[in-house]
Amino acid sequence: DAKTTQPNSMESNEEEPVHLPCNHSTISGTDYIHWYRQLPSQGPEYVIHGLTSNVNNRMASLAIAEDRKSSTLILHRATLRDAAVYYCIRGGGTSYGKLTFGQGTILTVHP
Amino acid sequence: DAGITQSPRHKVTETGTPVTLRCHQTENHRYMYWYRQDPGHGLRLIHYSYGVKDTDKGEVSDGYSVSRSKTEDFLLTLESATSSQTSVYFCAISELLAGGPMDTQYFGPGTRLTVL
């Protein structure tokens, strides 16, 4: 039970913004939202995480709804290299770092 | 990139044979994990370790055992491989900060195992 819901796939054009949604309606007050992505034939890599406030880093932005039941990963300008499976994961500090991966969203970026 | 290596990277074996996969890290991180990835299932946690000689089961631990005698090495053993264990196996490491959020996990390149 991944406890998050994501669309199976999304498409984007190169250099356009991409908004990847995630629903986590049963999230607890101490759960963080983490995003990882997996490029073809590679292991997953960390993208971003947050608790309540919106977060930005060099890779992406994370917008978390006020009720924390959903979040959106934002890629500001998609590149071909951003084509990957994106995983939205909820987890807290008491779980020994165990990540429960769902199916993720397959992002296709068109040139 | 985090210093994580997995060996072997590819292995073909026969049903009933023992197989050991190795994960080696140079980051001195306390936590190590083994996942398997299969089409239609995403990544699933097999076992994890929270210190030397400290391990626990994950979601799909049946048929697998692990050992961690040194901080840097985490071994996954299939005592008697079955075709259902054909999969891609990923190792990950993290350093959980006390009182903080779940820390970033860094993943290795994976081992593709085929059991005939």
Cα–Cα distance measured from residue A105 to residue A64, given in angstroms and rounded to the nearest whole number:
18
Instruction: State how far the alpha carbon of B67 is from the alpha carbons of A110, B10, B23, B74, B80, in Å.
Output: 44, 21, 11, 6, 16
Residue B101, pLDDT > 80, answer no
Q: What is the pLDDT of residues A75-94, one digit of tens each?
A: 999 999 999 999 998 876 45
Q: For the segment A55-79, what is each residue's pLDDT rounded down to a tens digit?
A: 999 989 999 999 999 999 999 999 9
Taking CA–CA distances from B104, the nearest residue in chain A reads A46
B104 contacts on A by Cβ (under 8 Å): 46, 49
At position B84, the amino acid (one-letter code) is S
Q: Decide: A49 and A35 in contact? Cβ < 8 Å.
A: yes
- What does the pLDDT read at residue B40? 76
Query: What percent of chain B is modeled with pLDDT above 70?
Result: 91
pLDDT score of B99 = 47
How does DSSP classify residue B103?
A: P
CB pairs under 8 A between A and B: 70
3-class DSSP state for residue A25?
Answer: coil
Q: Is B102 on the interface with A (CB under 8 A)?
A: yes
Reported as a pLDDT band with limits 50, 70 and 90, residue A103 is confident
Residue A104 to residue B102, Cβ atoms within 8 A: no
- pLDDT of the residue at B10: 97
Q: How far apart are the C-alpha atoms of A79 and B45, rounded to whole Å?
A: 31
Q: What pairs with residue B43 in β-bridges?
A: B37
User: In the 8-state DSSP scheme, what is residue A53?
Assistant: S
For residue B27, the 8-state DSSP code is: S
Across the interface, whether the CB atoms of B48 and A101 are under 8 A apart is answered no
| Residue B57 Cα distances to A17, A70, A94, B83, B93, angstroms | 40, 30, 16, 21, 16
